[in-house]
Structure 1
């Protein structure tokens, strides 16, 4: 029993440290690497990890942090694959403290030392004096960070029925129905594309023009949880061999009026991070339903 408790405690410590480093770096891969190195120290783990994150001095944006919204969803999409983009984090690696994509993106917009001070003080609960001792940031710097920290409207709550209908609409490739799930001022962005779009109508035009799906059954959506938010791993039918391959990860922000933000991540290495296969053969149990999805059979027919 004692060994089991020690194992659970060690796991909780690692989750907390990984989450802290992720808030600093915006990358789950780099966060795990820094956390692993920090855990080898006998000193204050969070102070050590924070200083290692500051040494990297990396800024990971989303497209909304780089340019204005595009007004041409049917035009050519611009992309910057060389940019180190913000990544999502699987829920099973988080510590239960604020970690929504809106929060992490807003943290990334702060100077690194201000970001560190804000995370340590307002998320980890450190006193300003302890923050100063750990990373040399003054109380005035902390006040400055709080002044400029603006995460916007956050995710409210999952809506299982809405998410199920949203998934069905994508799998049927029913663009008008998909469009109806978004609020009038909703945002759709999709790194590494720098082009992003505002408004349900523009989002519908974007999907209708640029999505490679042509008909019902071309896409299969597997529910995921990232950053405390609902989302889907999207698999697209490969017409060459009639199987569904990894295509993108969507993370959604919901309010009482509908979806206000969708981020589609095209970095396929994230599928491994979320313990998802590159080639879809069966569907795991949905985190939103009591039973596995009934469309497993239809997906299996395409293998």
Structure 2
């Protein structure tokens, strides 16, 4: 009996798609976790599938097709991360004079991951030994933590603690030993846990109310109210700009400068979700104009009834990657979109 795999090996592209399409979404998410960029994840997912198509004769069935694809994707991502020529995004020039940042962030290539893509992944099927659920393993703090690790450590943690592969299988995927995997895993876990936000239970109603208050204050330029919603250790980052502001006072100084520059121009925030977190697509209009134009995206990191992180993504290519419009009707008076 001729199987789908037999047909794919014989050069049937439709059969190959039938084999691999169920895994495309989760492979894209896997590449995103390791690379921190939706755009790079798109490229590496395509590279993975092309490599699988070309190397299908080498698939002996000793592991599942899913595991074989993850092996290819992981090693393609590691190769990309080792590439000395990997370009960092150009640092944008602020249209106003920002205050001195608290620190200069390292992960300037970070991009948000739209929840609509998560919804397209039917079942990531993590193994029974996975330590992290899909939700927390795609939050910005988690993905940022991965970017700050040595790449093989990050890959080890994702394969073992997110996807739940046994140590021996992770070692085989990475071409190393079980002992080395255990060592990398120990270091990766310690690095990640040191910077994870405290988990506080919060219902949908509380989240909606907190984000509503933030959006109303932000669009109105009410910096004092925004700052009152922050935790004492809150921070604000703006990839691909390296500027980070830590603490309510530093954040307030930046927001005052930004709000002064915006002046009377209406700002519209359109609620979306990214990285399983509340987010807003930002659109800025000139006074009296009917259309508002893309002005970045805000992703909020919540902790209980406060906001611990504000990440504003400034990449002009994000609407294309995230499936969002580049322009939208300006809301009357700059009011928040609901």
TM-score greater than 0.5 by the shorter chain = yes
Q: Does 1:146 align with 2:195?
A: no
Quick one: structure 1 residues 240 and 58, their matched pair in 2 at CA, closer, same or farther if it must change by over 3 Å?
farther
- Contact kept in structure 2, 1:155 and 1:229, CA below 8 Å: no
Correspondences of 1:269-284 after superposition (within 5 Å): 269-281=317-329
CA contact (8 A) 1:85 1:192 kept: yes
Match among 37, 51, 56 for residue 80 of structure 2: 56
Counterpart position of 1:126: 165
Cα offsets for 1:165-205 (capped at 9, x unmatched): 21122222222222221122211111233221122233222
Report the Cα distance in structure 1 between the residues aligned to 2:198 and 2:80, rounded to whole angstroms. Answer: 28
Moved more, 164-173 or 257-266: 164-173
- What is the CA distance between 1:90 and its match in structure 2? 0.6
User: Residue 108 of structure 1 corresponds to which residue in structure 2?
Assistant: 147
* Misfit runs of 4+, over 4 Å: 7-12, 76-84, 154-158, 239-242, 296-300
Where does 1:190-205 land on structure 2 (aligned, <5 Å)? 190-205=238-253
The number of aligned residues is 269
Preserved CA contact (<8 Å) 2:219 2:334: no
* Aligned counterparts of 1:58 and 1:277: Cα–Cα separation in 2: 34
User: 1:299: Cα distance to partner?
Assistant: 6.2
1:35-184 paired onto structure 2 within 5 Å = 35-40=45-50, 41=52, 42=56, 43=59, 44-57=68-81, 75=99, 84-94=108-118, 95=121, 97=134, 98-137=137-176, 138-139=180-181, 140-150=183-193, 151-153=195-197, 157=202, 159-184=207-232
Give me the TM-score of the superposition, normalised by structure 2: 0.70
Q: Superposition RMSD on alpha carbons, in Å?
A: 3.3
Q: Give the distance between the partners of 1:275 and 1:170, measured in 2 at CA.
A: 24
Aligned-partner SS, 1:252 = strand
Asked if the contact 1:252–1:261 (Cα under 8 Å) also holds between the matched residues in 2, the reply is: yes
Determine if the alignment matches structure 1 residue 237 to structure 2 residue 279. Answer: no
Given the superposition, is the C-alpha separation of residues 154 and 231 from structure 1 closer, same or farther in structure 2, using an over 3 Å criterion?
A: farther
Note if contact 2:102-2:250 (Cα within 8 Å) is conserved in structure 1: no
The residue number in structure 2 matching 1:225 is: 273
Whether the 8 Å CA contact 1:230–1:252 is kept in 2: the answer is yes
- Bigger fraction of residues in helix: 2
How has the CA–CA distance of structure 1 residues 258 and 39 changed in structure 2, closer, same or farther, with 3 Å as cutoff?
A: same
Unaligned 5+ segments in structure 2 are 1-16, 60-67, 89-96, 122-132
Aligned to 1:21: 31
Unaligned runs of 5+ in 1: 1-6, 63-72, 283-295
Report the TM-score when normalising by structure 1: 0.78
Structure 1 position 254, deviation (Å): 0.6
1:81-113 superposed Cα distances (whole Å, 9 cap, x missing partner): 998521111112235712111001111111111
Secondary structure, counterpart of 2:75 in structure 1: helix
Shift of 1:148: 2.7
**Change beyond 3 A, Cα 1:166–1:87:** same
Correspondence for 2:263: 214
Q: Is the 8 A contact 1:102 1:154 kept in 2?
A: no
Aligned to 1:230, the other structure's residue is in SS state strand
Secondary structure of 2:325's match? coil
